[in-house]
Amino acid sequence: MEKKDKKQKVENGLWRAYVRITDSNIYEKLKWLEEVKKVKISNAIPNALYYGLDEYIRAEFGEIEVGEVEERTPTSTPSAPIVIETIPDKRIEEMVRLLQEIVLNTTLSKSMTASLFNERAKHLYGYSVRPEQFERGDFRDTPEYLVGHEKMVMRQIQEDRRKDK
Tens digits of residue pLDDT in 149-161: 888 888 998 998 8
Q: What is the reported pLDDT for 31? A: 81
The beta-strand segments (E) located in the chain are 8-11, 14-17
Domain ranges of the chain: 8-61, 89-164
Confidence of residue 78 (pLDDT cuts 50, 70, 90): low
Confidence of residue 66 (pLDDT cuts 50, 70, 90): low
The average pLDDT across 52-81 equals: 62
The average pLDDT across 64-87 equals: 59
Amino acid at 17: A
Q: What is the reported pLDDT for 94? A: 92
**33 and 44 in contact (C-beta within 8 Å)?**
yes
pLDDT digits (tens, 9 = 90+) for 6-41: 445 555 666 666 667 777 887 788 788 788 877 777
- Average pLDDT over the chain, rounded to an integer: 75
Contact partners, residue 47, CB within 8 Å, separation at least 6: 56
Q: What is the reported pLDDT for 142? A: 81
Contact partners, residue 27, CB within 8 Å, separation at least 6: 21
The average pLDDT across 66-79 equals: 51
Confidence of residue 100 (pLDDT cuts 50, 70, 90): very high
Q: What is the reported pLDDT for 70? A: 44
- Within 13 A of 88's CA, how many CA atoms are on the CB side? 3
What is the C-alpha to C-alpha distance for residues 123 and 118, in angstroms, rounded to an integer?
Answer: 9
Q: What is the reported pLDDT for 51? A: 61
